[in-house]
Chain A
Amino acid sequence: MIKLVFFASLREELGCGSLEIEFNQPLRLSALIKQLEKKKGNHWGKVLASESVKIAINKEIVVNDELLSDGCEVAFLPPVTGG
């Protein structure tokens, strides 16, 4: 199982705060986004692949097309505005 979490404006745009997907075989981030696009529609692909969106795996920002493992948490973060 892979847990996906979406924050702030992304959560509202997608109408989804979190979801879980079955883990069948190791897959890369780009493949995960393609899978979501196929399942949820083009809008998801467009929103998640936006340059301003950062991705964290297990609460660490990643910049490459990482390989995801079973049990990981993938977070999609819009530009931060704390402080």
Chain B
Amino acid sequence: MGFKVLIQTEAIDFGKEHGLLQDSGDSVGAIATFFGTVRDFNETRKVESISIEHYSGMTESELKKILNEAKARWKISAGTIIHRVGKLHVGEGIVFVGIASSHRKEAFQSCDFIMDYLKTNAPLWKKERHDGGEDWVSSKESDQIFARSWEKGSY
């Protein structure tokens, strides 16, 4: 086991990934996961499906950098980042982040950190299909603020 980054079109097998983290060593005492799924609304619109595009090669290297940064900041035993690309329907998993560590704080914090950096640094783009057509999702200023909060050493 160890650390891995995957970009895939197939569905994310949450149970399998969680199991791999759980089996990643006897010193593991905590696993924190984040599983982002497609919801049926954004702001005021009803969403039917989304499609995700990425910059092949750069996405993987950016996610590896983020995972390495998490390893440098916290004592963690194993970590997984899986992001889907292509067409996804409401309810499907978009992203899985899982961290195994000896204690809960490291797992919670590094998981949170990885998502904040993924949101602002990984070259992935979502397009929503809704009843009125299709639109690229706009980036949120709040995501930039969340990512910057890790720079201050305030955690």
Contacts and interface: CB of A to CB of B under 8 A. Distances in A.
B27 interface: no
A82 B58 contact: no
Nearest to A59: B58
Nearest to B50: A81
Interface string A63-83: 000000000000101111111
Nearest to B95: A83
Interface stretch (B11-19, B67-75, B100-108, B124-132): B124-132
B61 A59 contact: yes
Interface residues of B, number: 27
B125 A83 contact: no
B52 interface: yes
Nearest to B125: A8
Contact of B118 (A5, A56, A79, A82): A82
Give the size category of A's interface with B: 10 to 19
B123 A80 contact: yes
Contacts of B115: 83
B40 interface: no
A30 interface: no
B58 A56 contact: yes
A78 B61 contact: no
A78 B139 CA distance: 9
A80 B136 contact: no
B146 to A, nearest CB: 11
Contact of A77 (B55, B95, B119, B138): B55
A83 B36 contact: yes
B119 A83 contact: yes
Interface of A: 5, 7-9, 12, 56, 59-60, 75, 77-83
24 contacts: A7-B55, A8-B53, A8-B125, A8-B127, A9-B125, A56-B55, A56-B123, A59-B61, A60-B58, A75-B123, A77-B55, A77-B123, A78-B125, A79-B138, A80-B122, A80-B124, A80-B139, A81-B124, A81-B125, A81-B138, A82-B123, A82-B125, A83-B95, A83-B118
